[in-house]
Amino acid sequence: MKFKTFVLVSLIFIIALAGCKGDTAKKELPKVYMTTEITADSLLQIYKALGREASGKVAIKLHMGEPGNQNFLSANLYRKLVQEVNGTFVDSNVAYGGPRTTTEGSLKAAADHGFTYAPVDILDADGTMILPVKGGKNVREAFFGSRFRDYDFYISVAHFKGHGLSGFGGAFKNLAIGIATPQGKLIVHSGDPDGPLDPPVPKKFLERVAEYGKALMDDLGDRVIYINVLANLSTDCDCDANAPLPTMADIGIVASLDPVAVDKASVDLVFAAAKKYGHNDLANRIKSTKGTHTLKYAEKLGLGSRKYELISLD
């Protein structure tokens, strides 16, 4: 066994023990699968390990990269998974200016970054649809692309990395903000469809991320799975054309049927690696923004569990 794999498997064991402490260990915990290999084969393997087959018309939500960004994941990583499920890459236009504010610009960015072997669909190209947010305290409705319901099943493949406001981008940010229309993105950030992207109350921004996620997840039910790829671990988003290069080594791929568990496991792995190797920039970004509040709030909304069972596929 390679030294890196040995160390990471040791981290998995430590995290798995920590995740099973207390009374929650008596209950059946959501399973989070992990592999330290980051290849097209391992992405397909971890999808199959989840045991929930994508059927019908399948959307694969990921980030295809802002022009100029160096950290987005290679299109080739997704090839075997996309071919297995006959999937379509999906995204929505952005609210912060630049080429991806238009459908044409978004499609060009996707093509320039190699996402040419499967269809690409910009979900808000034809307009907006509204989904209710049940039980949320900040928003009551969420704005998504009108093509959202054109698909029978969603696979979230999030590039897990840092973010200047949310601390990290995982399953919730990939879906909640990623599929939101530009108007919806502004509401998530500031509570105002005409508001700024810098949230006046950061805690409410983190809660709105969870609330927008809830709108989607309630609508999809069991027609969705969550995969996070912990590679190219920059402190900033793939939407940032000038995001810094990573200082933390790649960790692996995690996947779950539980969105809270998959994001919590990803955060735990980053914290464990930072402690082990002393590379704390991403861990500090998550802590400084109090990014894990999104997961605490999502758990309160009934979207999943911050306790989980971590299962190595290596």
Residues contacting 27, CB < 8 A, separation 6+: none
- CATH class label, 30-312: alpha beta
Confidence of residue 206 (pLDDT cuts 50, 70, 90): very high
Contact between 150 and 171 under an 8 Å Cβ cutoff? The reply is no
pLDDT, tens only, 97-144? 888 999 999 999 999 999 999 999 999 999 999 999 999 999 999 999
Contact between 256 and 47 under an 8 Å Cβ cutoff? The reply is no
Cβ neighbour number for residue 68 with a 10 Å cutoff: 12
Residue 125's φ and ψ, nearest 5 degrees, are -60, -30
| pLDDT surpasses 60 at 6 | no
pLDDT, tens only, 255-292? 999 999 999 999 999 999 999 887 789 999 999 999 99
For the chain, the distance separating the N- and C-terminal CA atoms, rounded to the nearest angstrom, is 10
Domains of the chain by residue range: 30-312
CB burial readout 100-111, b (16+ within 10 A) else e: beebebbbebbe
Residue 189's φ and ψ, nearest 5 degrees, are -70, -45
pLDDT, tens only, 159-191? 999 998 999 999 999 999 999 999 999 999 999
**DSSP label at residue 263:** H
Q: Tell me how far apart the alpha carbons of residues 123 and 40 are, in angstroms, rounded to a whole number.
A: 25
Contact between 111 and 75 under an 8 Å Cβ cutoff? The reply is no
CB burial readout 273-304, b (16+ within 10 A) else e: bbeeeebbebbebbeebebbbbbbbbbebebb
Alpha-carbon 150 to chain mean position: 21
Which one is predicted more confidently, 68 or 117?
A: 117
Q: Which residue has the tokens 């295809």?
A: 64
Mean pLDDT of the chain: 91
Beta strands, E only, 134-251: 141-145, 153-159, 161-163, 167-169, 224-230
Residue 224's φ and ψ, nearest 5 degrees, are -155, 150
Q: Which residue has the tokens 């040791």?
A: 10
| pLDDT surpasses 70 at 225 | yes
Q: Tell me how far apart the alpha carbons of residues 233 and 281 are, in angstroms, rounded to a whole number.
A: 10
Contact between 142 and 136 under an 8 Å Cβ cutoff? The reply is no
Does the predicted model carry a pTM greater than 0.75? yes
Q: Tell me how far apart the alpha carbons of residues 12 and 61 are, in angstroms, rounded to a whole number.
A: 27
Alpha-carbon 62 to chain mean position: 8
Residue 277's φ and ψ, nearest 5 degrees, are -105, -10
CA distances to 12, 85, 117 from 80, rounded to whole Å, are 26, 9, 11
